[in-house]
Amino acid sequence: MALDLLKMNGTPLSKQRFTWREMVAKPISKLDDDAFTRVRVILMNGIETEALRFQHACARMNGELRPALAQIRRVEQHQATQVNWLLGADHSPLETTIAYEQVAVEVTAALAQNEPDDYLAQAYRFGLLEDFDHLYRYSALMDRMEGKDANNILQSYTDVLPGRPTAVEHRDPLDDVREPFKAKDAAFLTKLNATVLMASEHQTHDYYMNIGPLFADPVARLLYAEIASIEEQHVTHYESLIDPDQTWLEQWLMHEATEVYTYYSCVQHESNPRIKAIWERMLDYELGHLQAVRELFKKHEKRDPMEVLDGSLPEPINFASQREFVRQTLTNEVDLRARGTQFVPLDQESDASREYRAYLNSQGSPTDTIAKGYHWFPGGELARKVVTIGARH
Amino acid sequence: METTTRIGMNKTGIKSSPFDTRALLEVSDEAAPSVPGPESELVALKMSYAKEADALGSVPPPATVKGTVKSGVDAIKGARPQVVFDKIAERLAFERTGVRLYEALLVKHAATDGLESIVPAAELVKIRDDEAAHFRLLVESMESLGGDPTAQTPCAAATGIAGQGLMQLVNDPRTNFLQSLQALHIAELTDVDGWAMLIEIARSSGHTKLAEAFQRAEQQEERHLANVRKWMLGLTKAELGKA
């Protein structure tokens, strides 16, 4: 059933509150919960932290909105806490990293397929193949440093294979800035998709920047440094797809609508009843935020919020393995490169990107080093000779 | 790599800052806690989480009877096969990580001059290979019982959590070979006893063939532990000039 954004007012802001015990509740099970429950937890933390990031930037530029931003942002903070604290500490930082890349691969692939704008869909497929490669590199690190199998986290939903090699993903900054959609012409879904991916990639960047230095192994420290640099490129790539001529309130409306859309998608797919109840509560809270921002929009811009929003939400995000789409994209587009705002064949890449990368990699590429000769195998590469694949089925 | 223990400008203790420490203690002695009450409330809070907590997870079900008979040398026995699966998976995860720990130690060995007379590299290679062989033995044992050797069970996850510090210690380029051996010392102490317990569990659950196969691994682990102790003492005494 589609959600009607005009009729659903959600929980009033004054009723949105938490105790510490609610925020710090029981985590999901790393072993027994479905990998897509973890995908949703990570994605929603990304959406919530983007809400905080956007609202702080907005407050710095808009004095009259500061009180309303402060009120809503406090709730977002506590929502982010409750969501992110669902990840148990039995996830090592590297296991959580594998899960972050699974989010990037599966969610980007799902959105690329439903994106109505051809250019944005192409941009999503472009980013997808790069995150897909990161998953392979981190899996090699986990196997070779910790002696663990990435598939314990991925649960066989996502392939562990090389994508566009990370070593060649390094581009001149000007080759990461894309053409934005025009908000007045863009589909509601286009605006939602772009906000989701910008949020998700930004949190991935921040996560790698925070945990990279926690590793003792210099190979791990190098690997996180290299991939974090690509995530910074991806934030540039995704945020530049968004129309910069939207007003602050238009963008705030879209951020709240994105939160509603993503929690709604989580509710539709969640297999763990306890977590589903959390998504439902958060959805009601976000509907409350959207309602509040709709009123602010009317008051300050003297316009109808429906100029920005649609009455009903699009189909929910398809939280499921996108294996065939990813493989097909890999086959067709792994050799694409970016030149300015365009995606071009390998031989048309800019000299600026080639030169930039040549220096960066001139003392070696960590992502190449970690994965030399690496083939993923069930149970880790040490098990290659002894495990009979499919013995249980 | 620095291999000797030296006197330097360590600033962590209070005796390094006598003036500031005096000032620190003046205030610290006068200040009252912001909330009066016993430390036991902290225990009560943790208790409430402990009582409500879910388990880390479960053990996957065994393969079909057909598959077990086909591949099995010692099909799973008893009403609660998951207990044996979980303990085998724990040892399996430990041995696989053990291979990686010795690989990291070998790097450090190669980067350090003058070790060979006390710690021959060939001995480290031998232990690394033993750990790999133990891992393979456990994979085969798990398969013979109809279990899934690729699954991370609760005890395997627990051993992974416990091993995080060991991995960090050995992989840090600043820790010298002797400091890195602290991690292997913990690992080998655990490994010897882990195998001893696994043998007892295998026997008491009727898996005598497995218990026999595991005994050789236990004996090898005892030799590993003896070597690690010998190297730690040897290197420390060498530094003292008493080798």
B30-39 pLDDT per residue, tens: 778 888 888 8
Strand partners, A337: A344
Strand partners, A342: A339
Residues with Cβ within 8 Å of B56's Cβ and at least 6 positions away in sequence, in order, are A29, A30, A31, A88, A90, B154, B157, B158
Q: Is residue A245 part of a domain?
A: yes
* CATH number, residue B196: 1.20.1260.10
Is residue A29 classed as helix, strand or coil in its secondary structure?
coil
What CA–CA distance (Å, rounded) separates A256 from A266? 15
Mean pLDDT of B191-215: 96
Minimal Cα–Cα distance from B30 to chain A, Å? Answer: 31
Return the pLDDT at A386.
53
Q: Which residue reads 């980007």 in tokens?
A: A108
Interchain proximity B149–A151, CB inside 8 Å: no
Question: Within a 10 A sphere around the Cβ of B73, how many other Cβ atoms?
Answer: 12
Encode A170-207: b = buried (16+ Cβ within 10 Å), e = exposed: bbbeebbbbebbebeebebbbbbbbbbbbbbbbbbbbb
Q: Is residue A6 part of a domain?
A: no
Task: Please indicate whether residue B79 or residue A42 has the higher confidence score (pLDDT).
Answer: A42
Q: Is residue B55 part of a domain?
A: no
Instruction: Tell me the HSE value of A22 on the side-chain side, using a 13 A CA sphere.
Output: 11
Residues with Cβ within 8 Å of A385's Cβ and at least 6 positions away in sequence, in order, are B136
Is residue A57 classed as helix, strand or coil in its secondary structure?
helix
Residues with Cβ within 8 Å of B28's Cβ and at least 6 positions away in sequence, in order, are none
Task: Please indicate whether residue A167 or residue B73 has the higher confidence score (pLDDT).
Answer: A167
CA A59 to chain centre: 24
- Asked whether the predicted pLDDT for residue B70 surpasses 80, the reply is no
Find chain A residues with C-beta within 8 A of B96's C-beta. 147-148, 379-380, 382-383
Interchain proximity A31–B173, CB inside 8 Å: no
What CA–CA distance (Å, rounded) separates A101 from A201? 10
Q: Is residue A59 part of a domain?
A: yes
Closest residue by Cα to residue B136 from A377, A386, A148: A386
Per the structure, the count of domains in chain A is 1
Is residue A343 classed as helix, strand or coil in its secondary structure?
strand
Q: Is residue B43 part of a domain?
A: no
CA triple A344-A349-A350, angle to 5 deg: 130
With cut-offs at 50, 70 and 90, classify the pLDDT of residue B64. low
Q: Is residue A1 part of a domain?
A: no
* B186, A231 Cβ separation under 8 angstroms: no
* B153, B85 Cβ separation under 8 angstroms: yes
Closest residue by Cα to residue A184 from A263, A250, A115: A250
- Asked whether the predicted pLDDT for residue B74 surpasses 80, the reply is no
With cut-offs at 50, 70 and 90, classify the pLDDT of residue B77. low
**Amino acid at position B14, single letter:** I
Per the structure, the count of domains in chain B is 1
Residues 31-90 of B with CB under 8 A from A: 52-58, 63, 67, 71
A134 φ/ψ angles, rounded to the nearest 5 degrees? -60, -40
Find chain A residues with C-beta within 8 A of B91's C-beta. none
Find chain A residues with C-beta within 8 A of B54's C-beta. 26, 29
Residues with Cβ within 8 Å of A273's Cβ and at least 6 positions away in sequence, in order, are none
- Asked whether the predicted pLDDT for residue B72 surpasses 60, the reply is no
- Asked whether the predicted pLDDT for residue B75 surpasses 80, the reply is no
**Amino acid at position A386, single letter:** V
Interchain proximity A29–B55, CB inside 8 Å: yes
Q: Is residue B177 part of a domain?
A: yes
**B164 vs A: CB within 8 A:** yes
List the single best residue of B100, B144, B175 to mutate versus A (max A Cβ within 10 A).
Answer: B100
For the record, the structure tokens of B52 come out as: 């409500």
For the record, the structure tokens of A35 come out as: 């990998």
Interchain proximity B97–A151, CB inside 8 Å: no
Mean pLDDT of B212-225: 97
What CA–CA distance (Å, rounded) separates A235 from A242? 11
Return the pLDDT at A388.
42
Q: Is residue B116 part of a domain?
A: yes
Find chain A residues with C-beta within 8 A of B135's C-beta. 382-383
Q: Is residue B207 part of a domain?
A: yes
**Amino acid at position B18, single letter:** P
Q: Is residue A339 part of a domain?
A: yes
Residues 136-165 of A with CB under 8 A from B: 144-149, 151-152
CA B104 to chain centre: 14
For residue B117, CA distances in Å to B109, B110, B148, B233, B243 come to 12, 13, 43, 14, 11
Interchain proximity B157–A378, CB inside 8 Å: no
Q: Is residue A260 part of a domain?
A: yes
Residues 169-228 of B with CB under 8 A from A: 169, 171-173, 175
Query: Does an H or E element contain A337, and which?
Result: strand A337-339
Query: Does an H or E element contain A338, and which?
Result: strand A337-339
Encode B129-145: b = buried (16+ Cβ within 10 Å), e = exposed: ebbbebbbbbbbbbbbb
Q: Is B56 exposed, middle or buried (0-12, 13-18, 19+ CB in 10 A)?
A: buried
For helices B177-204 and B81-110, what crossing angle results, to 10°? 160
Find chain B residues with C-beta within 8 A of A152's C-beta. 150-152
Return the pLDDT at B175.
97
Task: Please indicate whether residue A160 or residue B63 has the higher confidence score (pLDDT).
Answer: A160
Q: Is residue B6 part of a domain?
A: no
Return the pLDDT at B40.
85
Return the pLDDT at B1.
77
Closest residue by Cα to residue B99 from A118, A377, A153, A380: A380
Mean pLDDT of B14-25: 93
List, for chain A, all residue ranges whose pLDDT scores fall below the cut of 70. Answer: 1-2, 385-393
Structural domain that includes position A252: 13-383
What CA–CA distance (Å, rounded) separates A268 from A42? 17
Structural domain that includes position B197: 81-240
* A250, A62 Cβ separation under 8 angstroms: no
Q: Is residue A259 part of a domain?
A: yes
Q: Is residue B179 part of a domain?
A: yes
Q: Is residue A210 part of a domain?
A: yes
What CA–CA distance (Å, rounded) separates B138 from B152? 14
**Amino acid at position A16, single letter:** Q
CA triple A306-A284-A110, angle to 5 deg: 70
Q: Is residue B138 part of a domain?
A: yes
Find chain A residues with C-beta within 8 A of B154's C-beta. 31
What CA–CA distance (Å, rounded) separates B132 from B120? 19
Size of interface A-B (CB pairs under 8 A): 112
For the record, the structure tokens of A219 come out as: 């190979």
3-state per-residue secondary structure call for B57-79: CCCCCCCCHHHHHHHCCCCCCCC
Question: Within a 10 A sphere around the Cβ of A74, how many other Cβ atoms?
Answer: 16
**Amino acid at position B39, single letter:** E
Query: Does an H or E element contain A33, and which?
Result: none
